[in-house]
Structure 1
């Protein structure tokens, strides 16, 4: 099968990436499903910022020539033994979380996202920058009919992780929610939050992001260091910049939470306890998701008629899609389809 792999991670450099891109086209054997596994013929795969972190080396590869991609939509074309949930012809999605042990204290407390034995698509196992992908059917999702393949793909990571970040930020009903960075994940989380009654304040340097935020009904749009007109009740940081953390905390009202949604963040500057955190302000991370998060988000996304902004790329242009993402040229979510 045709596939793209991260051959040698390197920091983004517009000049170097033209000739020495970390993504390399290759041919790999078609994968075969094992017990409990299904194989899908990939029809769409989102290009996630986590893929960029892998390509740039912020996320150290766990295997040589990693095949990225964990926002995968396709049709089941082969099932392994002991499969019961899906059959050939079913439309399914594969997301970031692909295995948990089911036995550790975190799994038993319904917090499988913290399982020490967890494995992840496009990092520990081959992802969706390919013609076929395999996953344990217990970690696959049914895709709501509301979304076609291209627009369903970003829901499977950008959507799910944004939804978990919203939950952990704990914005009260009718509260003011700050969103820092406005790309693939943020524009989906903003729509869910509005559906749930929040007032949305967006902070981003991206001209594309500002335009999209206004289209989606944000009450305020400004740069990350611009103070909001009123204190925020909660905030989610999607941009992978630690410099934003002090600004988000300064914008926060007493008792509010700032949730950091990304898997990678640059260094956070030194914080003054009284100015930044006193008043029971909370700063917390967000780690992956549970399958329950995924199922609930997909249901709410369909119910809320979430609009997924995508920038489609042909499969043969995966390297260009990742380059555009690194350069901030993607509006919404890039999708290989």
Structure 2
């Protein structure tokens, strides 16, 4: 299952479909007379790359499972040898019990919810009985992910278990917001990995893998084109980075809750502020958390935040997106309106 989601790109929404990269070929003709050069053998590097693909698939695919939650279908990754499986929060939804099918089996296994953290669209479920030979995935260092890296996306798109698509890392550090529909928790997620590997409905919760057989992210979102009535926007998909996945999963497994999300917080509850022309013009502070970043900087309920650092803020969604791109402990300047006057406050961001 993959949710619809919004991305700050003109003409695009994030939803359930994208496609992998296309390949092209070119031919060249000799400028000399009649004879043609004999066909040359394919370069050995192509066979080596094919062998790399096969090795990675053999290494990682046994760690990718199919998850059924009621009428919904998604994917997951075996996290440890105790039967913990990490997936997207929108895959588990409100369910507490699940059926899990391993890549090397057709037998459905029972699982129960360990914990869910919708704010980062991550959840952990646990097999009720751990089968022999369960193979946990190896998670890589997502801070070392580079644009142009070859990656494979593994999961159960459209219910086709143990499917694999290929592409590259198209970008890193993307901040993406999911709308609250189709089971999506509406999370704003920072530092996502953008990929051209095809991500389709059912891929959510599956693995984005490098050629070292390491999981560098969890497949979560894909883009559609608003101008084409929601048709797939080829080659635009997003994965939650491994660093976020392992941090949240470790906390859920240990306590069932998340105390340190790794997400920056200003320490306010806010709503979108509309100006006299009924246009969104900021984020109005409704309440301030005692001891939070905003309180320490002297901000008060009624203040209207118009800028965070150099980013203009016109809505609560804009404030959430701006914060998602920052880290707890980061220092920034908040520009706000109070009683018709423009003020600034230097803040040290806390943790959500």
Q: Give the alignment's TM-score, normalised by structure 1.
A: 0.29
Determine which structure has the larger strand proportion and give its number. 2
Determine which structure has the larger helix proportion and give its number. 1
Q: Give the alignment's TM-score, normalised by structure 2.
A: 0.28
